[in-house]
Amino acid sequence: MSQIPENVRGAVEFDSWLTPFADVLSQRRFFADKWAYDITHATPDGSFQSLSKFARDSYKSYGFHADPHTREIRYKEWAPNARQAFLIGEFNGWNETSHELKFKDEFGNFHITISPTSSGEYAIPHDSKIKVMFVLADGSKIYRIPAWITRATQPDKETAKMFGPVYEGRFWNPPNPYRFVHKRPEFNELEDSLRIYEAHIGISSPEPKIATYKEFTANVLPRIKYLGYDAIQLMAIMEHAYYASFGYQVTNFFAISSRFGTPEELKELIDTAHGMGILVLLDVVHSHASKNVEDGLNKFDGSDHQYFHSLSSGRGEHPLWDSRLFNYGNFEVQRFLLSNLAFYIDIYQFDGFRFDGVTSMLYLHHGVGENGSFSGDYNEYLSPERSNVDHEALAYLMLANDLAHEMLPQSAITIAEDVSGYPTLCLPRKIGGTGFNYRLAMALPDMWIKILKETSDEDWDLGKIVHTLTNRRHGEKVVAYCESHDQALVGDKTLAFWLMDAAMYTNMSILSSATPVIDRGVALHKMIRLLTDSLGGEAYLNFEGNEFGHPEWLDFPNANNNNSYHYARRQFNLVDDELLRYKFLYEFDGAMQHCEKQYKWLNTPQAYVSLKNESDKIIAFERNGLLFIFNFHPTKSFTDYRIGVESPGTYSIVLNTDHKVFGGHERIDESSKFVTTDLPWNNRKNFIQVYIPSRVALVCALK
C-alpha cells in the first residue's frame, strides 16, 4: 500500500479493488482540489476564503440587491460578449438609454447602482417587470431576463398574444419578506434514517389545476407528517418555462417556479416543514439547461459558449434532451452554479439536494448509446482508455458536495441520480470519494416493473429479486424505491396500476368483496414496498400518491392531450373516502414508516438473507436485530414454518401486512410470541416456527 497516493489512500483501503486505479482516482481528486484552491484564493488581496464565502459573496454580488438603509439598488451581470448593457423595465418606461451599466471590467462584468427616488423610495418598484438589453459588437441589440433574477413569471394573455409565451423578469423586493421561525432539523449521517417523500407542488391537488405552495403547506405537509416521512424532496422548483418538462428544462436558476406562488410562500412551506421536524431537499438541475434564449441562459450575451460548451465543440448539446450543457471548467460557470446551491441553502433554507442527471454529467457519452450501459467492471469507470469520464463535471460535483457539507455540517444531504454505479461516488471527499451521501438505486423500480409486466407470481425468481435488492457497493449508501416520478409518467404505469389496472376503477369499494385481482394487488403492493424498504438500501423514497396506490399515470398538459390537467394531479380524495380500499395502502405506508422510525433498519448494515425458497416462495432475513419474513406464494400458507435466526430470545410481531387496517384478512394472531430453539437452521444459530399465510409479510423484533 506504500505506493497508494495519500489523497485517495482512505478510499483504496476501504475498497482494495480500487488499488490498480489509485493513480487515476488521485488525479481526479487533485483536479477538484486544485479548483477548490484556486477558488478559495481568488480574492483581490490574495487572502484565503472558504468555499461557502465565495459562493455567498457571489450570489450577494451578482444580480439585483436592494439596500434597505440607503434605498439604493445594485445590479451586476456577467456578459463578456456584450459591448454595452442597459437596464430597462417598467420603472423607466422601457427606456433603452437612461440606465446604462458601466465599468465593464476585464472579466466581462457590468455594474450599475440606482439611486432612490426624490421621495426616498426604491427607484424600481417591487415585482415590476425588468430586463437587460445588450448591445453587441456589430451594434445589434438583444433583450434578456437577468441571469441571476430571483423572480420570473408567465406573461398575461394579451402580452403572450403579442410577443409569445416568453417569461418576464421581475424585481423581487417585498416590503415584508418572510422570516423563518423554526430551526432546521438536524441529520446525523451515521445514525439517522432517511425516509423521503418525493413531491411536485403543481400536481399536489385532486383538482385538475396547478396547486400552490400554500395549498401544499396546508393540505399535503400534514399528510407527510402523519405518514412518518422525515424528508421531502421537492421537484420542479427551479423556474422552467415549459410545465410539461417536469421541471427539468430550467430557464431561470435563481428563480423558483412562479406557477405555484411567490418566494415568500415557498419559504413558509419549508419553515412549516422544519417545524414538523421534516428536512426539505431540492431536486437541483445542474446537469443541463433549457435551450430558451429570450427567457433562459442560452446565448445570453449573444455567444453560444458563455455558460455552455460551444455548439461547434460537439459538447454543447445533450443528444437526447434537446438542452444545453454547462462548461464546468469555466470559472464563472463554477461561480454561477456553486452560488446557486448556496442561494437555495441560505435564502430558502433547503437542507440538501438531489442532483439530477448525474450519469449524464459524469460521462462524455452521457450514458447514451452502447457506451451508456455498465456491467460494473471498474475499467468502465476508471480506465483512462475506456471510461470516457468528464473530469470537469466530476470535479464540479466534488466541489458541490464540499460546499453543501461545509454550509450545513449538521444536516446536509446530497443524493446522486446515477444509474452507472460510479465507484467512490458516495464515499467522503476527505478519503478520495466524490462526496455524495447517497445514490438512487435506479435498478430497483426497473426490476419491479419488468417482473409485473412479464412474470406471474408463481414464476417469480426470488433469488434474482434478492440479488437486485442487495447488489450495491459496500459502504456507499443508496436510496431504495419501488417507483419514483419516472415510473408514474404517461407511457408507463404505477405499480398499483400494473397490479390491478382497470379493476381500480370498478372494484376498490369496500361495499363489495375484493375480487381476486384487487386482493392480489393490495397484498403485493404492501409486500413490494416493505421488501424494497427493508432490503434495498440505506434510505427509502416514495413518490407522492404511490403510498396509497395512485390509480393513474402522470401526464402534464400539452398539445397531445389538449392541454388537460386531468392526469396532472394526485387524487388524495381517494384516501379520504372511507368506502374505498386506497385507505388500506395509505395506512400501511404510515405503519411501515413509523415502524422503521421506531426500530431502525435503514442506515444499518445490509441484511443477512437466510432463506430464498423458490418452491415455497419464502424470503427471510435479519437486519439490525429485526426478523423479516415474506410469503409470496399466491395460494399456499404455512403452519410452523421454520425460520433461522441468529439471536436467541422471544420474537414478537411489530408489523403485519395482513392486518385488517391494511386491507388484510386477519389471519395472524399478533399476540403470538415466537421463542427460539437452540438448534442451527439455514446457517443461523437458532430457529423459530411461525404461521405465515400466503401473500403476507411479517416484521418481528426481540421483546
Catalytic-labelled residue, pool 304, 351, 356, 392: 356
Question: Edge to edge, what strands does the sheet with 63-66 contain?
Answer: 63-66, 73-78, 109-114
- Three-state DSSP at 90 gives helix
Which 3 state secondary structure label does DSSP give 130? strand
Is residue 665 within 8 A of residue 520, CB to CB? The reply is no
List CB contacts of 30: < 8 A, sequence separation 6 or more. 7
433, 25 Cβ separation under 8 angstroms: no
Give residue 95's region: left, alpha or beta (phi > 0; psi -120 to 50).
beta
Q: Which residue has the cell 426490476?
A: 447
Task: Quickly tell me which residue has 410562500 as its cell.
Answer: 265
Q: How far is CA 634 from CA 457, 460, 615, in A?
A: 6, 11, 11
Catalytic residue among 192, 402, 417, 533: 417
3-state helix, strand, coil in the chain (%, to 5): 35, 20, 45
Cell of 119: 421621495
Q: What is the CA angle 174-178-183, rounded to 5?
A: 155
**Using the 8-state DSSP alphabet, how is residue 112 labeled?**
E
Give the contacts of 616 (CB within 8 A, at least 6 positions apart).
631, 633, 636, 638, 641
Question: Do the bridges between strand 279-284 and strand 352-355 make them parallel or antiparallel, or are there none, so unpaired?
Answer: parallel
At 549, is the secondary structure helix, strand, or coil? coil
301 is catalytic: no
3-state secondary structure (DSSP) of residue 542: strand
Q: How far apart are CA 253 and CA 235, in angstroms?
A: 14
**CB-based burial label for 118 (10 Å; 0-12, 13-18, 19+):** exposed
Nearest residue to 315 via CA among 240, 398, 379, 392: 392
**DSSP H/E element including 449:** helix 443-454
Is 417 annotated in the active site? Answer: yes
Residue 37: partners with Cβ closer than 8 Å, 6 or more residues away: none
> Which DSSP string do the residues of 498-540 spell out, in sequence order?
HHHTTHHHHS-BTTSPPPHHHHHHHHHHHHHHHHHHHHS-SEE
What cell numbers appear for 112 in the block? 450599475
Q: Check if the beta carbon of residue 603 is closer than 8 Å to that of residue 437.
A: no
Residue with cell 457571489: 58
Dist CA 351 CA 186 (whole Å) = 9
Give the contacts of 441 (CB within 8 A, at least 6 positions apart): 472, 478, 479, 480, 481, 536, 537
- Burial letters 292-303, b for 16+ CB under 10 A, else e: bbbbbbbbbbbe
Distance CA 493, CA 478 (A): 24
Measured CA to CA, the distance from residue 506 to residue 551 in angstroms comes to 11
Of 411, 487, 415, the residue nearest 444 (C-alpha): 487
Residues catalogued as catalytic: 356, 417
